[in-house]
A and B are shown apart, each in its own frame.
Chain A
Amino acid sequence: MSNQANKVKFLTYPERIRSRLERTGEIVFIDGQHVTPSQIWQFMTEEAPKRFPYAYDTKTYNIVRLSDDVDFVSGIKYNYIELTWRDRMLAARSKGIPLILNEGGGQTRDPYYAAGAIPLRPGAVSTWVREMEDGLDLHQIDLRNTAIMESGRKLITIEACNQIGAHAAISDGVVDVDMLAPFLCLRCSDVAYLVEKHRSSQRSYPLQLIDYPINNQVNKEWAVEYFASNLKRLIASILNITSAGMTEDGLKEEIKLHNKMRRLALDIHELWWSANIPPTNSTDFNNIRIFGNDPCGVSAISAISILEETKQEVHERIKNSIKGAGLTDDPVRLFACGSCVSPNPTVVDRAGGVVVGKDDWLSGLYIEVKENGNPYGNLAKANLSISYEQPIEVRALWTVEQIKKSKADGMIFMHQWGCNYQSAVSRMVADIVKEKAGIPTLVIEVDELDKAEALEQSQNRVESFIEMLR
């Protein structure tokens, strides 16, 4: 429509940020690699813009773009962790660290790390695929991701959600992992296709199904014991790959560290929610929420340091009334529900809103695994109590509580086409929220998981909703 639309503007980090970044700590990964802040700066300002131009493309609709809040130093670290994903996974694997695909929700990451492995969400596989080839622009990565997704659809079904692309990438050998370990809880209907893809795959991967007792079994002793035995089997299978050992004390130690990470991320949420002026934009807030659940290959001790730095920075911003970059004054506060897809954070910010929470990741932050006693039983009990995995009414009432805490003005339940369970429960959750929290709700089905372009129509709905709330 306009020539201007074709011009690409790229994000740059101004030199003035460098000294602030250099005063922060280094990042330590579980394979022992240390990265100094100077190396992070060099990567983010010199190497990554050439290798991953799409991430620096500042188009509002670019859902894989970096946060443009360049002054939020902690945000640079989350971006570094994201953009080095593939390099780091390959390096870790070459050092014998197993990579485990862990689709399905209903779980904490402590057992994987305790056993010396890195858990990979399907979303992380997509990140890996994006980073496979250097120099691609937004359109090119979108085309490639779509091609992989279509290959999965052709082989398995057209009815799966877009995460079939991640399964296709694994079974076609584009991405290599050591084990598939889906959790059989209700949240995700894609697990069925993961298993099916595994069966018809040319490559053979060990498959470890984790049976998650569904339908509110948390207070039943048998369920806790049964689920604990599944977790024990998962850890044993990972240890089998590494031929390494793990003591119960080692598992307890990892649980303690992960509890601390989750608590810190939750503290940041409570700080953020208490502020009159939102201290970060939606992209950075989302990154904190995800990292609190999943340290993405960063050692737990280092992840705790990053979260502590983040907490301090958020605190400073609140004290100095600094608003997240890209936000309007007094933005409409949106709480997001659903699974795997969320309203595009930049679109929300530009339209005059801000995302104050997302139910799936947020429910993970509330997990407090007991630190004394049998660690398997404690993990099982904690994982069975995740609010997101409870009966719909319980989940919806927990959501109402979070909506009140986060002072949300509206709720969007967004679900990916093909995500059958979330699609089925969306209306009930929205109706309960509308009644009990007294805020408007919007249910949207989208087809944007793993897509970076052509999302105008769903974004139009989100913008319309924000305009209505204003």
Chain B
Amino acid sequence: MIGLDVGSTTAKAAYPEGKFRIVESRNWRELTDGIAPCDIVSTGYFRKSVPHKLAITEITAAAFGAREYFPDAEVIVDIGGQDTKVIDLRNNTFLLNDKCSAGTGAFLEFTAKYLGIQVSELGDLHMRAKKAAQLNSTCGVFAISEMISRMVEGASVEDVVAGMHYSFARRVAKLIPEADRIVLIGGTVKNRGLTAALEEVAGKRFLIPPAPQTVNALGALRYSEERP
């Protein structure tokens, strides 16, 4: 059995021997080579479009996956490519930001594209910033015009990236309930600059699993083991 998470940007697989693989979503077939549909538990927005024995939502997958690393987690914040999900495991509730790109991976991609850099470079640029540029807008569209204004005023790319991360963090932090053990997952969490900004804005340390991007794939696998 494998756990297969096919999201809007990347596809991730968790294999029983403890291995993970990540490819672009359109190449998801590479992850299931030689694996029969009856051995796949899928999750992610495309869970029903790929062969599967069982398809579960990312919210359930996240709960099962995060528990593997942090059994006493209270809240999970999953910052994905197209939405951000906040799952409160204490009372089985969840909040989703999926209407607005601000506070999602799409916002970061949008910004990186405008600045002519790769999304993977954003974290390092943030760390080299001298003074984060002041960006007040949490809206993706207005944030870009603010970035232009700050650069015209002389801010460096590094400072603008850091400012953008703070703007992003302010948006996400509003969704997070008061809790001690908050787990951050999702591909975006690999961005050190963003997590640093989020911790500063929220005023707390977060728990980050070693492979935040594959937690949902692992959760799908664990779900199949616990509820065969």
Contacts and interface: CB of A to CB of B under 8 A. Distances in A.
Q: Is the interface of A mostly helix, strand, loop or mixed?
A: helix
Contacts of B93: 440, 442
Interface in B45-70: 45-46, 48-50, 56-60
Contacts of A464: 57-60, 94
Contacts of B45: 456, 460
B28 A460 contact: no
Contact of A2 (B49, B83, B92): B49
A468 B59 contact: yes
Given A2-B46, A440-B92, 14 more contacts: A1-B6, A1-B25, A1-B28, A2-B50, A4-B49, A60-B48, A457-B96, A457-B98, A460-B57, A461-B96, A463-B57, A464-B60, A467-B57, A468-B60
B98 A1 contact: no
A57 to B, nearest CB: 16
Contacts of B49: 1-2, 4-5
Interface string A418-462: 000000000000000000000010100000000000001100110
Contacts of B58: 460, 464
Interface in A1-15: 1-2, 4-5
Contacts of A1: 6, 25-26, 28, 46, 49-50
Nearest to A457: B98
Contacts of A467: 56-57, 59-60
Interface string B32-54: 00000000000001101110000
Given A1-B50, A2-B49, A468-B92, A457 B83 contact: yes
Interface residues of A, number: 15
A1 to B, nearest CB: 4
A468 B96 CA distance: 15
A50 B167 CA distance: 53
A216 to B, nearest CB: 31
Contacts of A60: 48
* Chain A to chain B: the 8 pairs with minimum beta-carbon distance, closest first: A464-B59, A1-B49, A464-B57, A467-B60, A2-B49, A1-B46, A457-B98, A468-B92
A60 B47 CA distance: 14
Interface string A1-41: 11011000000000000000000000000000000000000
19 contacts: A1-B28, A1-B50, A2-B46, A2-B50, A4-B49, A5-B49, A440-B93, A456-B45, A457-B83, A460-B45, A460-B57, A460-B59, A461-B94, A461-B96, A464-B57, A464-B94, A467-B56, A467-B59, A468-B92
A1 B24 CA distance: 12
A359 to B, nearest CB: 21
A447 B46 CA distance: 21
Contacts of B50: 1-2
A2 B29 CA distance: 10
